[in-house]
Amino acid sequence: MDPSVAPLLKQIEQLGSRSQTEAGDPGKACRRALLQAAQKLCITLQDPGQLVEEFLFGSADNLLIKVAVDLKIFKRLSEAKEPVPLTQLAESTKCDVALLNRIMRGLASFHAVEQIDDEVYAPSKITNAFASTKGDAGARLFYELVVPGMQPIPKFLAETSYKNPTNAEHLPFNLAFGPQLFFPWVQEHPEVLGSFLEWMAVQREGHTPWLEFYPFEQQVVSGFRAEDPHAVLLVDVGGNTGHEIREIRQQCPSLRGRMVLQDLPSTIAQVKSSQDMEAMAHDFFTPQPVEGARVYYLRSILHDWDDAKCTIILQNIASAMKPGYSKVLINEFSIPGRGASAFTMRSDFMVMALAGAVERTENQWHVLLNSAGLKIDRIWTAEPESESIIEASLI
């Protein structure tokens, strides 16, 4: 057996003991270290041939997940009060029994469901995860858009002599879906757009919410001119249907001040303005109409665009900012120089393939913001797998 197995087992035992004594596991550091050690142990226990099979055949697992989502298998098992026989599942899904038997055995083989007895199934942790909105919408979005858009990466890079993709009109996405740009294509495909909007609303489930590690009241509210009834506390630029504003209102119910949600007309059409949130159709490539707000918040916006486009977005905001008062909060990954998480890098290749964009390092953020007349005041990061809060102001 590989000699590194014993030290890894000892490390896992020590981390397991620590996790029982560290109340709350601040920053989830202990759990993260335990997970990394367990993953390393799984790799160590496999021989090279098995590792190759694990990676290459793993795509079949993802396809089975999508089939199970389509048949609502996860939801049916998750909602059932007792284990479900195969015949009952076949009746409710209208799936051929012989085929369903193969599907369920396949799902059970990687613990996506639990096989209690011969042809009897119950929910597993993976079952319940994919019964959620995040799991359901994510499976649809990735199968319909993300995976096909990333599939041509090897061919595309070979054909372009392995140059870093930056032309939004010539990307792996275009080899799969044609010449149109990514976002206009999504807007013209309602089913994909629906999955996209659902996913964006819940994608951060499982990650530390930014309001838990960024001192919003101290950094934003304390300097806000609340005595002015017309003052805008926050503008959520490209904010989808307003889930971030609703979360802020829920976390800080006594907040005073206007909050403005901005997105394209097709998205804003789904939102009703209220006392808590003003909905405004706006294209962030045009001048920012709300001037002098305390905060301009951008969540998962800039990683969809190259530096030139991001500079335009940021310059439009900078022109509307009040010196010494307004801030920009960017809620995105800030990749460390060493030890980037697998989740972050998967996201990096996703935005590269679909939009010719990039998940940026701290140094890249400094360069980008400076190009738009802004400077970074501080970066808050809770954990490697979660987006940071990059706070910036006018130079």
Cβ atoms of 12 and 41 closer than 8 Å: yes
pLDDT in tens, the chain (395 residues): 788 888 899 888 888 877 766 655 554 778 888 888 999 999 999 999 999 999 999 999 999 999 999 999 999 999 999 999 999 999 999 999 999 999 999 999 999 999 999 999 999 999 999 999 999 999 999 999 999 999 999 999 999 999 999 898 999 999 999 999 999 999 999 999 999 989 988 988 888 899 999 999 999 999 999 999 999 999 999 999 999 999 999 999 989 999 999 999 989 998 988 889 999 999 999 999 999 999 999 999 999 999 999 999 999 999 999 999 999 999 999 999 888 999 999 999 999 999 999 999 999 999 999 999 999 999 999 888 889 999 999 99
List the catalytic residue out of 111, 189, 282, 303: 303
Q: Is 207 a catalytic residue?
A: no
Cβ atoms of 300 and 268 closer than 8 Å: no
Cα separation values, 57 from 53, 64, 87, 89, 393, Å: 6, 12, 28, 26, 48
CATH T-level topology, domain 55-131 = Arc Repressor Mutant, subunit A (1.10.10)
In this structure, what DSSP letter does residue 178 have?
Answer: -
pLDDT at 31: 82
Domain ranges in the chain?
Answer: 1-45, 55-131, 133-202, 210-394
pLDDT at 21: 66
In this structure, what DSSP letter does residue 120 have?
Answer: E
Per the CATH hierarchy, to which homologous superfamily does domain 210-394 belong?
Answer: Vaccinia Virus protein VP39 (3.40.50.150)
Q: Is the dihedral of CA 290, 292, 295, 300 positive or negative?
A: positive
Spatial CB neighbours of 81, under 8 Å, sequence gap ≥ 6 = none
pLDDT at 22: 61
Distance between CA 20 and CA 263 in Å, rounded?
45
pLDDT at 380: 96
Run of H or E residues at 102? helix 97-109
pLDDT at 269: 92
Cα separation values, 390 from 360, 377, 380, Å: 12, 8, 6
pLDDT at 204: 85
pLDDT at 25: 58
Distance between CA 229 and CA 246 in Å, rounded?
20
Question: Whole-prediction pTM value?
Answer: 0.86
Spatial CB neighbours of 25, under 8 Å, sequence gap ≥ 6 = 19, 31
Pairing of strands 258-263, 232-237: parallel
